[in-house]
Amino acid sequence: MNAKRVELKRFQEENLEEWSEFVATCDEAWVFHTPAYIRSFPYDFSFSIRIDGCIQGICVMGRVPCRGGAYFVGPGGALSEEAKKPEVYNLLTKKIKSLASSVGCQRVEFTLSPMAPANTNKKFSDSLLHDCGFTEGGRWWRSWENLPGYFSVIDLHLEFDEIVRRFSRFNRVRVARCNELGLKVAVETGEAANKQSWEDFVRIHRLTYLRTNGEPFSDERLESLFHVVQAGHLMLLRVLDDGACITCLLLATDKGGSFYLAGGAVDTARQNGVMVWAHSEAIRWLKEKGYKYYCLGFTISSLEGTPIGSIGDSKKRFGGERWPMLCGDLILRPFSFFTLQVLPELVDTYIRK
């Protein structure tokens, strides 16, 4: 490796065809590393690692402002087998730290995609994050807590009826009830996706977040995500009742795996369990297309049973497997991080008590 020339190159300066080819062939890379998805977030501080002129690694990340500063977030790095060397890990970590320092970031938080073939049910200690000195877990709702979690993953190698039997009784009842309603499912991706279908998703996405007092995707990101759908990296599933769209799921799909990215339902459909039925129909479609795994998202173990952990709790009712969550945290400026982020959060918590 010492005799080889190593070059780091900004995403904005890269040959995107070569970048896309690397993502397609590298088992550590997935949809979230593609140029189309990078632009949709945006992950403005992404870069490649070229060895003797060829891309042998990439790192995808963006800057997120927070109280008193900012941090880097993203799906992190993906390396070819040739690049998995201590000197490359050191170079990657050094570059991340340098970029963070240049734009006032106090820490970095990466979550590797569990659907990338190389990350299938992988332990954190065997991951790229561990090799680059990250600490396991993320700082989800209290910045001073580094909390590990797990991904809920459904094994699509099982027969469809067996998968549904593993649902909780609550979810099985909802699936059976919706089976009698005469609902229709429309699945679109790539060139088959159209603007009207996407407007259905946008409408329901915003209604759902309005109901939950959450913050929906920005107009700019929604527009960018539609282009990712048209590029074939995302799949849109709509549930139709008498021709009207009442529920939507947005899934990332690649390399035999699928990841639930976003979704929602009108209120009556939610109350009738149509979201659960939509996931069962997504499972049916994915199996028919030969996909191997369906990831419903993550759950933070220590938040289970709390109001903030309720979304994660709902994933358990699908009876999937628990895969280690490959999320890691790297503190770059400890004093600044403590004084500007941790201390104010601690004071706020003390006052609320």
77 close to 92: Cβ distance less than 8 angstroms: yes
DSSP state of 123: -
pLDDT of residue 59: 98
- The number of angstroms, rounded, from the C-alpha of 93 to the middle of its chain's C-alpha atoms is 22
Alpha helices by DSSP H, listed for 132-194, are: 160-165, 169-179
Angle of CA points 320, 297, 12, to nearest 5°: 140
Q: How many CB atoms lie within 10 A of CB 340?
A: 16
Phi and psi torsions of 252, nearest 5°: -85, 135
CA distances from residue 242 to 106, 250, 266, 289 in whole angstroms, order as listed: 52, 21, 14, 26
pLDDT of residue 83: 96
Instruction: Indicate the pTM of the whole model.
Output: 0.92
* Domains delineated in the chain: 6-147+326-352 (3.40.630.30), 152-324 (3.40.630.30)
* CA dist., res. 107 & res. 129, Å (int): 14
* CA dist., res. 209 & res. 220, Å (int): 17
What is the residue-wise DSSP string for 262-279?
Answer: EEEE-HHHHHTTHHHHHH
Name the 3-class secondary structure at 73: strand
The token pair at 341 is 């982020």
pLDDT of residue 66: 83
Q: For the chain, which residues score pLDDT lower than 70?
A: 1-3, 141-144, 306-312, 335, 341, 344-353
Q: In the sheet that 321-324 helps form, which strands lie side by side, from edge to edge?
A: 184-188, 234-241, 244-254, 257-265, 293-300, 149-155, 321-324
Going by C-beta distance under 8 Å and a sequence separation of 6 or more, which residues neighbour residue 280?
164, 167, 175
* CA dist., res. 294 & res. 185, Å (int): 18
